[in-house]
Each structure stands twice: as C-alpha cells, then as structure tokens.
A and B are shown apart, each in its own frame.
Chain A
Amino acid sequence: MLAELGLEAAEDLFASIPAQLRQKEPLGIPDGQSEYEIRDFFESRASESARGYACFLGAGAYSHFRPVVVDSLATRGEFLTAYTPYQAEISQGILTSIFEFQTMVAQLTGMDVANASMYDGSTAVPEAGMMAARITRRQRLLVARSIHPEYRQVLETYYRHQRLPTSTVNWDPRTGQLDLEDLEASLSDDVAAVIVQSPNFFGIIEHIGEAAELAHRSGALLVVVVSEAASLGLLAPPVEADIVVGELQSFAHPTSYGGPYVGILATKDRYIRQMPGRLVGATLDSDGRRAFCLTLATREQHIRRAKATSNICTNQALVALMATIYMTVFGKRGLRELAEQNLAKAHYLADSIESKEAERVFSGPFFNEFVVRPTARTAREVNALALASNIVGGLDLGRFFPELKGTLLICATETTKRADMDRYTECFGRIP
C-alpha cells in the first residue's frame, strides 16, 4: 500500500508533522500481551478485590439480580458496536429501543417525556439545575442535604465555577425527611429549583407533595432525584415534580466499581425544548411507515454550539439498552415483586439489627436502606468483625456527615440472603 501511495517508508506518512515535534523515545508501555496473559492480569487484580463477599452497601450503587438475557441481548454486535444513530435508515433497532427506554422512564417516573440518557445520576443533577434555571430565569438552587453527597459535590463543582448560587435544606433529625420549615424559610424569589432525593441518601421516602407545593408557591420548580430505581416499582411516582433525574443502574448494570451507569432525565411536555441530551422521536419514512430518528437536535451542541442546552454528546446508550431489556423482562408485575422483596428484606434486617445492640437513627418510612447506630460496639468495630467473616458491612456516614459519625447506612436487596443478614446482625451484638 505504501508503494501505491508513492511512499518508501511508514515514516513518510507523517511528513506533515515537523520533525522536532515527533516523539523521539518509544512509549514506555511494555510489549503486547496475549489474550491468556491479559485475562490472567485482570483475574489477579480481581482477586485483590472483595470477590465472593456478602455486601451490605448501597448508597447509590445497588446489587440486583440480572437475568441472563440482559447481557446476551445487549452484547449482540449489532447493538454493542454501533455508533450514535445519526443515520436513521440503518439504525432503526437502536432508535426503537431508545424510544422504548424514553417511554418506560416516563411511565416509571410519572413524567410525560424522558431523554435518551445522561452519564449517570450525579451529572444529571446539575443538568436539571441548569434546565430549571433556563425555564424560570432564576439562578439559585436549593438542595436537600439528604441527596447523595457525591451528587451534591458534582453539582457544586458545576455551579461554583459558573458563579451560580446554591444553598441547602436540612433534614428533620427525627424522621430523616426534608425539614419543611427549613425549606419554607429558605425559599426566596431567586430560587430556580428545589432539589430533593427520594428515597433520600438515608433510604427514607420524602414528602414530595408538600415539597412541590412549597416550591411552586414561590415560583420554583421541584427536581426529584431517584438513585435507587428499584423503589419506583413500588413507590408512588413523583408526579408533582417538574423534572425527575436519577440513576437507573439498578435495572441496568452491575455495581462495576461505580460505572458505567445510566442517568435519566424526565420532565413535563411543556419543558421539552429546554431538555439536555439526545431525544428520539417517532416519525414516518417516505412511504408513510412508522420510523424513528434523533430529533429536536437544535437544542444540541452539534447544531447550536455555544447556545446549546448542554454540552453532552456521547451518553450511556448501551447501558440504557440494558435497562430497557431489564425493564421489559421484569415488566409491570416483576418490578413490583422485585421492589416488594427489597422492602421485605430491608425491614427484616432492620428489625433484626435493632433487636441487637443498635438503634434506628430515623423514624421516617424507608425502602431498602436504613441508618443504625450500633450501641455495643463502634460502627468501625462492627464492620471489622464483619469483614473477618467475609462480609462488607454498611457505609459509615461519618464519611460524608460529621453529625452522623458512627452510624451505618445499610442496604438489603432481593439478592441479600437471610443467612448473611443473620451473620451480619450478630456482629452488632455484645461480646459474649
């Protein structure tokens, strides 16, 4: 091929790069390895992880049962190795599945429409904030301190550098729910949106209706964050919200050390043109047959450039497809049963631990996570004991909230075995 191009050496292909800018030393990366060696490398790294441990961590990353068909379908090359479906005529498969994803997200959240996905729950939050600011022409965001603390950190990064104001609303220390009096006192006419998570970071179900009423009364929007999608199989959808964002990892992907997950953004019909991200719409082909295509692209960066509603381009399409397959497999009845099992297991575990040497920190209703304060040992001691018997215990909330130091956020899902729950419960007991 070189000869056909009239070139003598591969070097000649790079003649347009000035010699002094070309790399002098070879890359310091070792020689290429075979498939066997690479597998071995990653098996070794995996063995330096908590392989085979029972795990009571949730906190934004949930372990759920994944039917085999999710991966066997999503890894088909026609899905796995396709690009963004800009060429509609040879992308009807992915376009149709995104349309179904948008529909199911809207049905789950009680919203009218949803986009094709965001990076994850955390980055969907500032996108919702910016969207609310465009809609209300106000700037301040009022954020519940009980949303996922890393979501709040991401929001603060986006907002601090744009010089946009945020303030926080406390939780009621008894119930763990949003402190409505604090919310009412904090609302002012510069607030674009109130951002609340339900179930919140402590697993507690929020009073969305009351929060919506207060927000709307002062001209602000209500943004509801959902980080545990499995809750939507059972809980009343946040229909009072104006925007629902969150994380669909529970339905899509194993915990995978934090990613890739799949963010969602859903809203009411009237805000469609202020949405960030890709949208798939139904249309017709030139013969009048139903077809789908990417639409309303004039909101997006490749058309609108500096005036786009967001800079997002690549999203989480394949993970969204996994979620679509998952939601289809479980369907109307399955998601309900899944959620009921989570509720039952978490309540069994909470009652068991409480019957030992521990107290529940919040009295509000919870879904599959709850907060306890061990009384016979410290939280650290409980988890050290657990680790010694191959159990990764709950999350010490002191990591994020100084006032909750020594408390544990504990999660149980349908995959948590009773025997493991009983073993973990024992770790809370007095030393015999």
Chain B
Amino acid sequence: MTRVRQHQTQDELLVFERSSPGKVGYQLPALDVPAADPVEVLGKERVRESIDGFPEVSEVEVVRHFTRLSTWNYAIDLGLYPLGSCTMKYNPRLNEAVARIEGIVDAHPYQPESMAQGLLRIQRTLETYLADIAGMDAVTLQPAAGAHGELTGLLMIRSYLESQGSPRRVVLIPDSAHGTNPATAAIAGYETREIPSNREGMIDLAALRLAADDSVAALMVTNPNTVGIFERDIAAVADILHRQGALLYVDGANMNALVGIARPGDFGADVMHLNLHKTFSTPHGGGGPGAGPVAVKAHLESFLPVPRIREEAGGLRYDWDRPKSIGRVRAFYGNFGVLVRALAYILAHGGDGLRNATVDAVLNASYIRRGLEDDYDLPYNAPSMHECIFSDARQAKYGVKTGDIAKRLIDHGFHPYTVSFPLIVRGALMIEPTETESKQELDEFIEAMRAIAREVEADPRLVRSAPVTTRTNRVDETLAARKPVLTWRGTPE
C-alpha cells in the first residue's frame, strides 16, 4: 500500500448541533424602502413564528463545517474513479468558469428572445454537434438527466406509434440493462418484457425474434452493452424490430466508447439519449445535476418536446407551434448551465479530439483488462470497449465477494468499481477508467487490484473487514433501512 497514508481529518457535528441562538453568518443591506409589517400585510395566521430547528451559526463555522465534510469524500480530483457505466472523467475547470459568466449565469428564462440570442445560439450549436455525434437528425436539450431522457424518448415513441394507428403496450429490455430502463418503461405506461443475453453477453437474436411481435413498441438497448461489449448484431436487431413496426431506443450511457468511431444513427437507432454528465465531462457533483438530451431520426422530429429552436432571418426563436409534440418534460429549457459546460468540452476537443478521447478510453480499459485477467475471472471473452467486466468467481472460493474487494480497494487508495452490476454476471466487478487517466495511474490501480487478489488468498478476513483506513468502518446499511432516520430530530438521549 504505497498510495495512501492515513492522515487526520477533523470530526464535525451536524450543523444543527453546532447552532446556538443568536449567531448569524449573513449580512443584508439596509432596506431602501419602507418596511412592511408581515402580520399587518398578510394576516397573523399566514405568518410563521420561526423555523424550528433551523441552524444559527457564524460564517467561519459554515466554512469549517462544509470544508471538514468535504475532506470525508473521495473525488475524481483525488484519483481514478473507475465506476463502470458512470464515465467518471476529469471535469475541466474552464467549463465551470464559462458557466458562471455574467449574462449567462444570471440570465432569466423569460427575458425576451431578442435579449437572449447568445443563449439560444449556445443551445442551437450544442444540438447540432450532438446530432452529428449521434448520427441523428434532431436533438432536444430539455431532459434533466439520463432517466429523464429515457422517459422523453419513450413518450415520443408512444406518440409516434399512435400517430401510425398502432399503439402498442410492450417494451423489450435486455436482462443486462440499467434499472432505469424498466423503471422508465413502466412510468411511460408500458409493460416490460426481458430479453435474455446469450453466452457472449449479447442480445440473443433468436429470443428477440420470438419476443418481437406486433405488441412491441420498442427495444431499449445500451451499446456497447453493460458488459462493455459492442453488440455486433445491432444492425440485425434493428432490422428485426423495424420489420415488426417497432423502434430501437439506444441508451447512450456508454457513448464514451463510440464518439467519433461509430454512430447509433448509423446502426439503426430511432431514438437515443446522451448523458452530458458522463460522456461530455460535466461534474457529477455527488449525484447531479446531469443533462439527458434526446436525439431522434427525422420521422420522430415532430414529436420532440416544445419549445424547439428555429433559425430565422432575424435570428433564433422559440417555436411552440408543434401540434404533434409530446409537450414539455421540464420547465424552461433544461439544465442550461450543464449544457454550457458540455459545449465548452466539445469546443475544447474538436472533432478529432473527441475521437482521440474515445480511442484513449478504450485503450485504457483494454490495458486494465490485460493487467487483471491473470488474477480475476473474465466471464466473457469478446473484446472490451471502454469498460471491462470481471467476476469474483476465484475470490468467492475464499469467501470474498465483489463488495469486499471493492471495500478493500478503498484501503488501497481508490474509489471502487461498480459492484454487482450487470445482474447477469454473478459477483460482477465493472471497471471503467475513462480516457483522462495516465498509464501511471492505471498501473497503480492494477497493482492495487493484484495485491488484493493476493490478500484474498493469504488473509480473506482482512479483505472482508475492509475498509480499515477510512474515518468510518463498514457502514450498517441494513440498520439504516430497518429503522429509517431521515432527518435530524434533536440529540438522542
């Protein structure tokens, strides 16, 4: 363990426990208009007494509180974050700076179009670039995250099929899919039917042919799929669906393997979403915000959410007159600040740079796979794209599971990989390094994983009790779920 050394972190109370009456950390200017007495203006019953339990702390206490908390987190800024299917790449700081430029960050969504031309131009440019990358004809930027994009896409599919006089009720989903796919299909009012994977980890074409009857609206597929393998028969998959009048939905979670190399639009996708917080480097921020733009082929364009942006002689304008549109999926124009960051990323890379990033992402994953295949079980032999999947089959013989190896990886100074997903691999370890990691960082990771494999053989108990170098030992998730405590309600006796 050469990578980490334990160091002090400060203990910190909850902010409510730091509070004492009368302390303040804010300043407001004196009112420049006459004060209004709330009780007089609004009536006594409409005015609250106080916000019970709310914090009262000074500014320096605020700064120390959140700074101390921050030191308890792992982050990309500290090192490799190899979560499979999450594409944790470096988040360029320039993107943060441009999203905060005055005129952008303080723009109001209802300021007149004539006073928002630069903001429409940002959206229009991003739409055009994303359509090019996806090989699709039109893009909406409105969805706030990947799952929201999925919902937008499925609602468009539903509207499209209804307009064809063929409403359908089933969405097919491979058993390797992300959980959001079936959850989204259900929320869009569809039944879901699972398609089994074959021995290579790909969609079983025979099973698909059987399942794809005229009740099927669409298949939702991630490509490369969640085992990191390109669905070689994707064109045939699209063909089977299209012959039945069904559509192909591509989940773009793994687009970091394809940008500049292959385009979903060229392999039969009718609709797809992109995750700007994955492929296009916008920060995850501890769980969001993201953005999930949806790209469609021309036959679905008239169903996109309103408003659309139209280029006219006098400039850009919003077009609400779209009678076939599914409607709005979010107020205003989506997570605009995230769109700004993603566009900055694209501008910085350019077309060639984006393609190079893809090459490096796949190269890095292949390098890790080669580095670990002697110590960990590879469930599938097909070449890996941007991520590689192992199983804990060898370690399980010593009573050590993928979750234990993940926790031990923390002691070796890395964030864990994605644990126990996809579900079709028993005891999965799903590793995605992304293109922004150096060979040195990858070598250190490989060395840590190999060291753990040796520890499993020599001292499985050590691995099972990891992590031992963190502020908190293994956290009891069962207790949390059995007796949910979701808010602070005073110091317990």
Contact = CB atoms under 8 A, between A and B. Distances in A.
B363 A328 contact: no
A272 to B, nearest CB: 6
Interface stretch (A11-19, A168-176, A179-187): A11-19
Contacts, number: 643
A282 B111 CA distance: 43
Contact of B480 (A57, A83, A295): A295
Interface string B338-382: 101000101111111111000100110011001000000000001
A310 B96 CA distance: 30
B118 A44 contact: yes
Given A311-B150, A328-B66, A392-B112, 9 more contacts: A75-B96, A81-B91, A82-B284, A82-B286, A90-B73, A119-B148, A160-B327, A255-B109, A365-B42
Contacts of B312: none
B330 A120 contact: yes
A88 B73 CA distance: 9
Contacts of B75: 77-82
A304 interface: yes
Interface stretch (B205-213, B393-401, B468-476): B468-476
12 contacts: A22-B262, A49-B107, A78-B73, A79-B70, A79-B73, A123-B148, A283-B485, A302-B178, A316-B289, A331-B57, A343-B42, A421-B33
A233 interface: yes
Q: Which 10 A-B pairs have the closest CB atoms?
A: A258-B332, A318-B285, A46-B103, A48-B118, A77-B77, A45-B118, A317-B287, A32-B350, A27-B351, A51-B103
A301 B110 contact: no
B54 A335 contact: yes
A431 interface: no
Given A33-B347, A301-B180, A365 B46 contact: yes
B351 A47 contact: no
Contact of A329 (B25, B184, B289, B470): B25
Contact of B472 (A75, A92, A325, A340): A92
Given A69-B63, A163-B189, A255-B108, A29 B229 contact: no
Contacts of A75: 96
B47 interface: yes
B183 A83 contact: no
Contacts of B100: 71
Given A1-B439, A255-B106, A154 B329 contact: yes
Contacts of A355: none
A142 to B, nearest CB: 19
Interface string B178-210: 111011111111001000000000000000000
Nearest to B53: A107
Contacts of A104: 54-55
B186 A113 contact: no
A388 interface: no
A59 B47 CA distance: 22
Contacts of B344: 38, 42
Interface string B87-125: 010010010111111111111111110011111011000
Nearest to A118: B144
Given A94-B73, A236-B48, A16 B385 contact: yes
A329 to B, nearest CB: 5
A31 B289 contact: no
B78 interface: yes
A263 B419 CA distance: 29
B331 A121 contact: yes
Contacts of B410: 87, 89-90
B298 interface: no
Contacts of A296: 481, 484
B384 to A, nearest CB: 9
Contact of A77 (B76, B86, B260): B76
B326 interface: yes
A4 interface: yes
A245 to B, nearest CB: 13
Contacts of B229: 16
A272 B329 CA distance: 25
A157 B105 contact: no
B50 A154 contact: no
Contact of A259 (B78, B112, B333): B333
A308 to B, nearest CB: 4
Nearest to B33: A348
B454 interface: no
B328 A38 contact: no
A165 to B, nearest CB: 13
Given A49-B104, A332-B51, A344-B34, A89 B473 contact: yes
B328 A157 contact: yes
B117 A344 contact: no
B338 A157 contact: no
Interface string B215-252: 00000000000000110101100000000000000000
A53 B358 CA distance: 42
B55 A331 contact: yes
Interface residues of B, number: 188
A51 B416 CA distance: 44
Most buried by A among B14, B46, B144, B481: B144
B179 A305 contact: yes
Interface in B280-310: 283-290, 305
Contacts of B73: 78-79, 82, 85, 90-94
Nearest to A227: B331
A315 B277 CA distance: 11
Interface in A335-372: 335-338, 340-341, 343-345, 347-348, 365
Contacts of A205: 42, 46
A254 B262 contact: no
Most buried by B among A237, A291, A298: A291
B321 interface: no
Most buried by A among B62, B112, B305, B406: B62
B172 to A, nearest CB: 12
B36 interface: yes
B363 A10 contact: yes
A123 B362 CA distance: 36
A121 B144 CA distance: 12
Contacts of B266: 21, 23
Interface string B476-493: 110111001111100000
A161 B26 contact: no
B69 A347 contact: no
Contacts of B23: 331
Contacts of B346: 29
Contacts of A21: 234-235, 262, 266-267
Contact of B35 (A2, A55, A77, A344): A344
A116 B14 contact: no
Given A38-B94, A42-B101, A328-B62, A92 B26 contact: no
A97 interface: yes
A143 B133 CA distance: 41
Contacts of B336: 256-260
B67 A73 contact: yes
A259 B334 contact: yes
Contact of B186 (A256, A308, A340, A417): A308
B151 interface: yes
A191 to B, nearest CB: 20
Contacts of A315: 145, 287-289
Interface string B29-64: 001111110100111011110111111110100110
A293 interface: yes
A182 B346 CA distance: 52
Contacts of A103: 16, 53, 487-488
Contacts of A340: 35-36, 38
A100 B19 CA distance: 13
B480 A97 contact: no
B458 interface: no
A392 B111 contact: yes
B174 interface: no
Interface string B404-434: 0011001000011001010000000000000
